[in-house]
């Protein structure tokens, strides 16, 4: 642990050919506790230290004697923080700010992901995992590429898909529901051609700039009825609606559906064939199906809810999963990522589980 006494007094000599700056280059594998330790040891505002750690590269101290700066960098490194010493000069340009979301990909690694993410964020592992299971899975805001890379290195390899987006360049989607007559009138002015507001005052508007989204938020004055989400964090399911008899090869190439299953699939239409499609990839994927003479539609899956039908389960399994009662039973609706993980854990424990027909 670093103590204040190990640090030299911070000096800013007017003329010193060996003066150096101490830079934070990455949060590295440090925990959030490093911010309070450095704040106390260096007598710096904790906000200044947090900014340097999570928006690296950033200058933490300027104009130190070079030897002292090198010693400080070495000591800071014991916390897991990555630091560097450079000749004294102008502060480095700040890197672009990013928001970061994540999706749990490897269900077997869920517990390990919770531990790693919890340590990185300074949270209980269950609460950290819950961030990923609550779409759109936003983990961090206003961080830099260095922090994104540090988190990526901290997580089990291949277990989480991270998506970083710059708010200053992003496009946003607005989801509204239960709007009043006045709010409907305000929103209708912004709807694209051919779009309308559904009965009950609900609508979705895509491709908004940050300023447009914020402006609508302020005008609608409905924080519980309006949600604004970075489109980079949205995911869609593609459903096959129609497929001509001769399209088996094309469907296998595009969606990986075995040709021998093609006729059975055609009898079950409409049927999901791709999940987790990012908004940025949506237009291209749909165009590829159209070119192959396959009819598909996109359904937003990010905020969908799913229930489970538990047909059978070994004794004690349901209680260990926090479920009351005995099989057969149906769960309540829950966010789709949570339902997927619960089903996986139940099946791993020997239960027979299906996704329920009821969903929202």
| pLDDT at res. 149 | 98
| SS3 state of residue 177 | coil
Cα–Cα distance, 357 to 360 (Å, whole number): 10
Contacts of residue 255, Cβ cutoff 8 Å, sequence gap at least 6: 238, 240, 273, 274
| pLDDT at res. 331 | 96
| SS3 state of residue 98 | strand
Q: Tell me which of 3.20.20.10, 3.30.1390.10, 3.40.50.720, 3.10.20.30 is the CATH number of domain 235-300.
A: 3.30.1390.10
Q: Is residue 175 very low, low, confident or very high in pLDDT (cuts 50, 70, 90)?
A: very high
Q: Tell me which of 1.20.950.20, 3.60.150.10, 3.30.460.10, 3.30.1390.10 is the CATH number of domain 98-165.
A: 3.30.1390.10
Computed over every residue of the chain, the mean pLDDT equals 92
Q: Is residue 17 very low, low, confident or very high in pLDDT (cuts 50, 70, 90)?
A: low
Mean pLDDT over 337-356 rounds to 97
Handedness of CA 264, 266, 268, 273 (dihedral sign): positive
Q: Per residue in 223-262, pLDDT tens? A: 788 899 999 999 999 999 999 999 999 999 999 999 999 9
Q: For residue 308, give both structure tokens.
A: 């489970």
Matching CATH topology for 15-87 and 235-300? yes
Q: Tell me which of 2.60.120, 3.10.450, 3.30.1390, 1.20.120 is the CATH number of domain 305-359.
A: 3.30.1390
| pLDDT at res. 359 | 67
Q: Per residue in 325-336, pLDDT tens? A: 999 999 999 999
Q: Per residue in 62-105, pLDDT tens? A: 999 999 999 999 999 999 999 999 999 999 999 999 999 999 99
Handedness of CA 97, 101, 106, 107 (dihedral sign): positive
What is the number of helices (H) and of strands (E) in the chain? 13, 16
For residues 230 and 174, the answer to whether their CB atoms sit within 8 Å is no
Cα–Cα distance, 111 to 80 (Å, whole number): 23
Q: Of all residues in the chain, what percent carry a pLDDT higher than 70?
A: 94
* pLDDT for residue 312 is more than 90: yes
Cα–Cα distance, 207 to 190 (Å, whole number): 11
CATH, range 15-87: 3.30.1390.10
What's 123-152 look like in SS3? CCHHHHHHHHHCCCCEEEEEECHHHHHHHH
Q: Is residue 195 very low, low, confident or very high in pLDDT (cuts 50, 70, 90)?
A: confident
Which of 9-13, 22-26, 275-279, 312-316 shows the lowest per-residue confidence on average (mean pLDDT)? 9-13
pTM, two decimal places: 0.88
The domain segmentation of the chain, as residue ranges, is 15-87, 98-165, 172-232, 235-300, 305-359
Contacts of residue 10, Cβ cutoff 8 Å, sequence gap at least 6: 42, 43, 61, 64
* pLDDT for residue 191 is more than 90: no
């Amino acid at each position: 642990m670093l103590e204040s006494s190990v640090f030299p007094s911070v000096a800013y000599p007017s003329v010193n050919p060996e003066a150096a700056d101490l830079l934070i280059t990455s949060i590295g594998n440090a925990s959030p506790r490093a911010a309070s330790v450095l704040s106390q040891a260096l007598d710096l505002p904790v906000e200044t230290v947090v900014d340097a750690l999570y928006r690296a590269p950033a200058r933490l101290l300027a104009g130190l004697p070079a030897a002292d700066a090198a010693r400080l960098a070495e000591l800071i490194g014991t916390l897991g923080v990555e630091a560097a010493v450079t000749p004294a000069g102008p502060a480095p340009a700040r890197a672009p700010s990013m928001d970061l979301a994540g999706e749990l990909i490897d269900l077997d690694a869920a517990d390990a992901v919770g531990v790693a993410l919890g340590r990185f964020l300074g949270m209980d592992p269950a609460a950290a995992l819950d961030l990923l299971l609550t779409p759109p899975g936003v983990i961090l805001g206003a961080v830099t590429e260095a922090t994104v890379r540090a988190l990526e290195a901290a997580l089990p390899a291949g277990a989480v898909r991270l998506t970083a987006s710059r708010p200053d360049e992003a496009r946003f989607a607005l989801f509204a529901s239960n709007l009043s007559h006045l709010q409907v009138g305000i929103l209708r002015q912004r709807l694209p051609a051919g779009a309308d507001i559904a009965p009950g005052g609900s609508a979705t508007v895509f491709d908004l700039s940050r300023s447009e989204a914020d402006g609508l938020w302020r005008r609608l004055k409905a924080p519980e009825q309006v949600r604004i989400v970075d489109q980079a964090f949205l995911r869609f399911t593609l459903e096959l609606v129609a497929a001509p008899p001769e399209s088996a090869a094309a469907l296998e190439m595009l969606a990986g559906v075995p040709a021998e299953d093609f006729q059975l699939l055609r009898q079950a239409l409409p049927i999901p064939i791709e999940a987790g499609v990012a908004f940025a990839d949506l237009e291209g994927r749909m165009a590829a199906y159209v070119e192959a003479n396959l009819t598909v539609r996109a359904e937003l899956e990010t905020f969908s809810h799913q229930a489970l039908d538990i047909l059978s389960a070994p004794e004690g399994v349901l209680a260990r999963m926090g479920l009351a009662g005995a099989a057969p039973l149906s769960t309540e609706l829950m966010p789709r990522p949570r339902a997927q993980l619960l089903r996986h854990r139940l099946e791993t424990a020997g239960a027979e589980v299906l996704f329920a027909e009821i969903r929202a």
